[in-house]
């Protein structure tokens, strides 16, 4: 209780300090494009006010439904705005220092990234680690991770006056990932091991993996081209790279910041917790977990509506749903995410050689693309369902057993 009180006090002090700095920056702001607008300032004030509200200990103890719902809503708002508020204040403060003192923007850029990570730690402990409600845990950690990995990209003066920040982007990704793993470990979820479950049938595993490799043919462009020989594979976007070193950097960033990041979120952060939240027999728990995470993975890809055609994005979400089911069942069957990390990397780095370098989802999908995605989606769903109901449950039960927490979460998905 004393530790929780100290944590609440620390968070309240940070909220008050942040509000004071935001008001001070607003009073001294110039017409620069990257200083806080009144809308941004309002968002900062609302975020810190909600953050202060959420420090009160009666959050879980409230007996009145309307008050409990109101506090949950406030907490969700605080989660969404908190990191953005700290980020904006640090960015504007360093921008003000840069304009008045002429300090090198690169130094301030790196300093700002470090300060943001230090500044968000009180909220990380109060809004994430201290959370006991499983859905809010998932939501809070997801929001934190999603916003933390793009911290350097939000600094206005950095984007305008720093030539390259690949190194700090990679460092930011590593630190944010470490904080996610620390939170999961704090809640009782072990980091995925490298060995498989004891009773994995490798013929079934091969059957689960194979349909995903069939899907690599979706970029061929036509059925005749897909079935014509020879079929060649090339590194995605390699024609746009200059030299071996740049290609290597591209591969590292793709594997870590896209493939590993998505597997960490959907097959570790989400799948591990959902598996403990669902109820029923082992087969029912596996089916529910697979469907829930596949739906979330499909929903994640709908954000591409902003720059892709609607039908193309729907097809991408459909393919992501099938991929989410296949990857989830592989993780639950083997007890590790590393197979899906490798598979995801292969899919993102290699594609069937086609006439256009464009992603089939970035343009209006052709009849071949629609047919191919629907057929491969159906195949993957059938294979996953066969695995759930025909494969011996021993390997699945080992995953459930090793994933089980010492105490049950406060929320169940029926």
CB 369 within 8 A of CB 356: no
- Cα→Cα distances 352→133, 145, 362, Å: 44, 32, 17
Closest CA to 373 of 225, 218, 212, 226: 218
CA atoms of 284 and 282, how far apart (whole Å): 5
The tokens describing 75, both together, are 């907490």
CA atoms of 283 and 388, how far apart (whole Å): 6
DSSP string, 162-217: -S--HHHHHHHHHHHHHHHHHHHHHTTPPPPPSSPPTT--HHHHHHHHHHHHHGGG
Q: Report DSSP state, residue 58.
A: G
Residue 170, Cβ density class (10 Å: 0-12 exposed, 13-18 middle, ≥19 buried): middle
Beta-bridged to residue 235, according to DSSP, are: 350
pLDDT digit string (tens) for the chain, length 414 residues: 566 667 677 777 777 777 777 777 666 654 444 455 666 666 666 666 666 666 554 455 555 666 667 777 777 777 777 888 888 888 888 877 877 777 777 888 888 889 989 988 888 888 888 888 888 889 889 989 988 888 877 776 666 666 677 788 888 999 999 999 999 999 989 888 889 999 999 999 999 999 888 888 777 778 887 777 566 767 765 555 555 566 777 788 888 888 999 999 999 999 999 999 998 999 999 999 999 999 999 999 998 888 888 898 999 999 999 999 999 999 999 999 999 999 999 888 877 665 555 667 778 888 888 999 999 999 999 999 999 999 999 999 999 999 876 555 555 555
Closest CA to 138 of 184, 172, 202: 184
The tokens describing 314, both together, are 């729907």
Radius of gyration of the chain (CA): 24
Closest CA to 126 of 13, 41, 202, 269: 13
Total-model pTM: 0.85
CA atoms of 235 and 251, how far apart (whole Å): 9
């Amino acid at each position: 209780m004393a530790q929780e009180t100290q944590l609440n006090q620390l968070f309240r002090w940070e909220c008050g300090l942040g509000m004071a700095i935001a008001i001070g920056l607003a009073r001294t702001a110039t017409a620069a494009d990257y200083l806080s607008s009144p809308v941004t300032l309002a968002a900062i004030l609302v975020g810190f006010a909600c953050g202060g509200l959420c420090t009160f200990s009666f959050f879980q103890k409230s007996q009145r439904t309307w008050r409990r719902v109101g506090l949950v809503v406030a907490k969700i708002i605080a989660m969404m705005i908190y990191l953005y508020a700290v980020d904006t204040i640090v960015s504007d403060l360093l921008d003000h220092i840069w304009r008045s003192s002429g300090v090198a923007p690169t130094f301030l850029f790196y300093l700002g990234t470090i300060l943001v990570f230090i500044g968000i730690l009180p909220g990380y402990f109060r809004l994430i680690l201290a959370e006991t409600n499983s859905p809010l845990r998932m939501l809070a950690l997801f929001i934190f991770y999603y916003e933390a990995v793009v911290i350097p990209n939000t600094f206005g003066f950095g984007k305008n006056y720093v030539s390259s920040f690949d190194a700090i982007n990679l460092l930011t990704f590593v630190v944010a990932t470490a904080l996610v793993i620390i939170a999961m470990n704090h809640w009782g979820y072990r980091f995925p091991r490298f060995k498989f479950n004891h009773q994995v049938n490798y013929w079934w595993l091969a059957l689960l993996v194979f349909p995903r490799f069939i899907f690599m043919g979706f970029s061929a462009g036509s059925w005749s081209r897909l079935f014509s020989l020879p079929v060649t594979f090339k590194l995605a976007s390699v024609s746009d790279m200059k030299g071996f070193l740049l290609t290597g950097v591209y591969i590292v960033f793709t594997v870590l910041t896209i493939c590993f990041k998505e597997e960490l979120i959907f097959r570790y952060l989400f799948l591990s917790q959902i598996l403990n939240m669902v109820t029923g027999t082992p087969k029912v728990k596996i089916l529910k977990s697979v469907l829930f995470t596949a739906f979330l993975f499909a929903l994640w890809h709908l954000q591409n509506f902003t720059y892709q055609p609607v039908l193309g994005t729907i097809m991408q979400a459909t393919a992501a749903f099938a991929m989410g089911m296949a990857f989830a069942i592989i993780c639950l069957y083997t007890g590790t995410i590393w197979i899906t990390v490798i598979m995801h990397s292969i899919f993102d780095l290699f594609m069937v050689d086609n006439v256009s370098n464009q992603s089939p989802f970035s343009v209006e999908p052709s009849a071949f693309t629609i047919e191919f995605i629907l057929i491969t989606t159906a195949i993957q769903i059938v294979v996953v369902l066969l695995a759930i109901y025909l494969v011996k449950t021993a390997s699945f039960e080992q995953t459930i057993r090793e994933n089980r927490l010492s105490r049950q979460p406060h929320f169940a998905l029926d």
